[in-house]
């Protein structure tokens, strides 16, 4: 528990109405989307919503002086208990710092505050003909601060890369209250090799090294047109072959997504209007660019797929495109509708393997599910090997919980065995902490040393990523 003195200092800093200490509020900040945060109650002592950098500085100084844990938080859509205060302390909800600070579109960049929601940023940019390409399924709710901290990405990562490819510089408040600017104090340049790449150090640091208060982001002109090729397959291997053959044919879609039979079922359930056939797998290829190249690329991809697929269609009708992408992006959350009394849970949900091993991974995930008697819906970004496994369980059944935890562990180990990584998107937090040593070997020790150097008293998001 925090002393009344500390609480009243916090209230002075952020304002009484932006400091929440009641049980009801604390409970609502004790979770993210992970299964573990549903099963455990890690209540913060207090939640504060800073409105500017100076308040963040004051809070961190206070916390550092009194060794109080501080957990930065965006929208809490992460899935690894990253934004959960499992050692109590202060939750720093960044939702109110949500403005676009500077448009600098002639230099292909914008400066934003971390609390801005991804979809809102892209809506604002679209009005000027630009966009920030990484596109997580959580676009409508997740914040840029969360995205930078998790190095989030989405379906278009194949062509456009992940968040880290767009972060040009950051303003970060360190645990001691110092404010640093990475990527050059006053730089508005699009690249730089001056010194260590501190920006990259903070991207993906999951709130363990500093609190991000501003982000200088690279943006791109919006492609003039988008097109979609949808291919249906009778067998899983054929879908993997098709993807590899597309690359070999020197075609480069912006996104390639796979839904296996279970995911197709969930999509049908969510949107019957889509009229999807229940096949073994389906691939969605998105192409974008000037209209003639979209048509050319889409047709070429369709031709390649015809050699492997049982049916291929293509569309550039924005309504159908939107419909199909929406169904794809919510298929995970919709998976819960497949089974009465059950829900989709996030555990072992975002491994990433080499592209050519995707069909093998899909099959093995299915086998793991069968071995433990757990329904798993699988889908993902086959273009970069990032797979989403969605176990659907009854969270009131202790035996299912126990089994699903084992399923999660096996999936993580499968990822490492297939020369992949335990998390391609959703971060380490608590739920992947156990695999860090194995995944990184000796370099993990350097991560620990960096953490100690920057946050000597270990107040920022302590206990996460197995750093202490």
Partner 1 sequence: MIRCVRCGQCRSVCPVFLVKKVESDSTRGRVTLIRALLEGEISFSEELGEKVWQCLLCHSCSQECPSGVQVEKIILAARSKMAELRGLPFSKKVLIQGLLPNLKSLSKLMALGRFLQSFGGKEVPGGYWLPSFSLPLFSSRVLPRLNSRSLFQMVPSEAPFIPRPKGRAVFYAGCMLAYGYPRTGKAVVEVLYYNGIEVVIPPDQVCCGLPALASGHRETFTRLREANLRVLKRVKADGIVTACPSCGSTLKEYYSSELQAKIFDFSEFLVAADFKPPDREWKSVVTYHDPCHLRKAQKVVRPPRRILASIPGIKFKEAADPGRCCGFGGTFGLYYPGLSREIGRARAGSLLDTGAEAVVTSCPGCMLQLADSLYRQQSTVPVRHLAEVLAEAYGFHKPLTAKEVVRPG
Ligand X SMILES: Cc1cc2nc3c(=O)[nH]c(=O)nc-3n(C[C@H](O)[C@H](O)[C@H](O)COP(=O)(O)OP(=O)(O)OC[C@H]3O[C@@H](n4cnc5c(N)ncnc54)[C@H](O)[C@@H]3O)c2cc1C
Nearer Cβ to ligand X (44/76): 76
81 binds, among ligand X, partner 1, none (CB under 5 to 8 A by kind): none
232 binds, among partner 1, ligand X, none (CB under 5 to 8 A by kind): none
- Of the candidates 44, 69, 74, 88, which one interacts with ligand X according to CB under 6 A? 74
On the 0-12 / 13-18 / 19+ scale of CB atoms within 10 A, 305 is buried
Q: Give CA 59 to chain center in angstroms.
A: 27
Residues 322-341 touching partner 1, rule: CB under 8 A, are 330, 332-334, 336-337, 341
Residue 206 C-beta: closest distance to ligand X, Å? 4
**For residue 77, which of 443, 450, 332, 314 has the smallest C-alpha distance?**
332
Which stretch, 58-66, 75-83, 366-374, 447-455, contacts ligand X (CB under 6 A)?
75-83
Which stretch, 79-87, 222-230, 254-262, 307-315, contacts ligand X (CB under 6 A)?
79-87
Residues 367-396 touching partner 1, rule: CB under 8 A, are 394-396
Residues 181-210 touching ligand X, rule: CB under 6 A, are 206-207
Nearer Cβ to ligand X (305/465): 465
Please report whether residue 99 would count as binding partner 1 according to CB under 8 A. Answer: no
User: What whole-number distance in Å separates Cα of residue 326 and Cα of residue 301?
Assistant: 22
Residues 124-153 touching ligand X, rule: CB under 6 A, are 136-138, 142-143, 145-147, 149-150, 152-153
- Of the candidates 40, 187, 343, 458, which one interacts with partner 1 according to CB under 8 A? 343
Phi, then psi, of 368 in degrees rounded to 5: -60, -45
- How many residues lie near partner 1 (CB under 8 A)? 44
- Of the candidates 19, 71, 279, 345, which one interacts with ligand X according to CB under 6 A? 71
Nearer Cβ to partner 1 (30/228): 30
Please report whether residue 31 would count as binding partner 1 according to CB under 8 A. Answer: yes
The 3 state secondary structure assigned to the chain is: CCCHHHHHHHHHHHCHHHEECCHHHHHHCCCCCCHHHHHCCCCCCEEECCCCHHHHHHHHHHHHHHCCCEEEECCCCCCCCCCCCCCCCEEEECCCCCCEEEEEHHHCEEEECCCCEHHHHHHHHHCCCEECCCCCCCCCCCEHHHHHHHCCCCCCHHHHCCHHHCEEEEEEECCCCCEEECCCCCCCCCCCCCCCCHHHHHCCCCCCCCEEEEEEEECEECCCEEEEEEEEECCHHHHHHHHHHHHHCCCCCCEEEEEEHHHHHHHHHHCHHHCCCCCCEEEEEEEEECHHHHHHHHHHHHHHHHCCCCEEEEECCHHHHHHHHHHHHHHHHHHHHHCCCCEECCCCCCCECCHHHHHHHHHHHHHHHHHHCCEEEEEEECCCCEEEEEEEECCCCHHHHHHHHHHHHHHHHHHHHCCCECCCCCCCCCCCHHHHHHHHCCHHHHHHHHHHHHCCCCCECCCHHHCC
- Of the candidates 3, 8, 12, 28, which one interacts with partner 1 according to CB under 8 A? 28
206 binds, among partner 1, ligand X, none (CB under 5 to 8 A by kind): ligand X
Q: Do 215 and 111 touch, CB atoms closer than 8 A?
A: yes
Residue 264 C-beta: closest distance to partner 1, Å? 16
Residues 418-437 touching ligand X, rule: CB under 6 A, are 425-426
Residues 72-91 touching partner 1, rule: CB under 8 A, are 75-77
User: What whole-number distance in Å separates Cα of residue 109 and Cα of residue 217?
Assistant: 5
Nearer Cβ to partner 1 (39/446): 39
Nearer Cβ to ligand X (150/270): 150
- Of the candidates 44, 50, 69, 82, which one interacts with ligand X according to CB under 6 A? 82
Site string for ligand X, 100-119 (x = CB under 6 A): --------------x-----
Q: How many CA atoms lie within 13 A of 400 on its CB side?
A: 17
Q: Report residue 239 as tokens.
A: 């879908």
Site string for ligand X, 364-403 (x = CB under 6 A): ----------------------------------------
Residue 427 C-beta: closest distance to partner 1, Å? 15
Nearer Cβ to ligand X (72/133): 72
Residue 332 C-beta: closest distance to partner 1, Å? 8
Residues contributing to the site for partner 1 (CB under 8 A): 20, 22-25, 27-29, 31-33, 37-38, 41, 47, 49, 75-77, 93, 95-96, 117, 119, 138, 140-142, 270, 330, 332-334, 336-337, 341-346, 394-396
Residues contributing to the site for ligand X (CB under 6 A): 32-33, 71-79, 82-83, 94, 114, 136-138, 142-143, 145-147, 149-150, 152-154, 206-207, 211-212, 332-333, 425-426, 461
């Amino acid at each position: 528990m925090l002393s009344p003195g500390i609480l009243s200092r916090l209230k002075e800093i952020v304002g009484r109405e932006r400091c929440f200490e009641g049980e009801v509020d604390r409970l609502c900040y004790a979770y993210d989307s992970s299964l573990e945060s549903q099963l455990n109650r890690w209540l913060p002592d207090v939640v504060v919503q800073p409105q500017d950098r100076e308040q963040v500085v004051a809070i961190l100084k206070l916390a550092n002086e009194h060794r109080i844990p501080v957990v930065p938080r965006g929208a809490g859509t992460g899935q690894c208990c990253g934004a959960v205060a499992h050692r109590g302390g202060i939750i720093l909800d960044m939702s109110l710092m949500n403005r676009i600070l500077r448009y600098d579109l002639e230099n292909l960049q914008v400066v934003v505050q971390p609390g801005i929601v991804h979809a809102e940023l892209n809506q604002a940019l679209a009005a000027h003909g630009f966009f920030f390409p990484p596109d997580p399924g959580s676009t409508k709710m997740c914040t840029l601060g969360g995205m930078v901290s998790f190095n989030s990405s989405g379906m278009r990562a194949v062509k456009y890369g992940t968040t880290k490819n767009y972060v040009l510089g950051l303003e970060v408040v360190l645990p001691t209250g110092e404010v640093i600017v990475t990527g050059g104090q006053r730089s508005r340049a699009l690249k730089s090799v001056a010194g260590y790449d501190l920006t990259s150090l903070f991207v993906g640091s999951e709130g363990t090294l500093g609190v991000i208060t501003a982000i200088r982001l690279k943006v791109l002109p919006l492609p003039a047109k988008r097109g979609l090729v949808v291919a249906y397959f009778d067998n899983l291997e054929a879908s993997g072959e098709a993807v590899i053959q597309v690359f070999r044919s020197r075609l480069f879609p912006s996104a390639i997504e796979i839904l296996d039979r279970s995911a197709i079922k969930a999509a049908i359930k969510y949107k019957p209007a889509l009229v999807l056939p229940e096949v073994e797998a389906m691939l969605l290829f998105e192409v974008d660019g000037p209209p003639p190249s979209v048509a050319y690329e889409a047709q070429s991809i369709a031709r390649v797929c015809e050699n492997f697929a049982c049916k291929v269609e293509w569309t550039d009708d924005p309504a159908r495109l939107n419909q199909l992408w929406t169904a794809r992006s919510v298929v995970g959350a919709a998976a819960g509708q497949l089974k009465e009394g059950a829900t989709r849970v996030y555990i072992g949900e975002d491994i990433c393997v080499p592209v050519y091993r995707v069909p093998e991974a899909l099959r093995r995930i299915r086998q793991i599910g069968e071995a433990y008697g757990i329904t798993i819906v699988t889908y993902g970004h086959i273009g970069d090997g990032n797979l989403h496994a969605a176990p659907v369980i009854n969270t009131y059944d202790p035996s299912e919980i126990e089994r699903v935890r084992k399923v999660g562990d096996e999936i993580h180990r499968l990822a490492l065995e297939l020369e992949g990584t335990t998390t391609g998107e959703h971060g380490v937090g608590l739920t992947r902490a156990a695999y860090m040593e194995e995944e990184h070997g000796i370099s993990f020790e350097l991560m620990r040393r960096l953490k100690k150097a920057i946050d000597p008293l270990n107040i920022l998001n302590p206990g996460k990523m197995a750093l202490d």
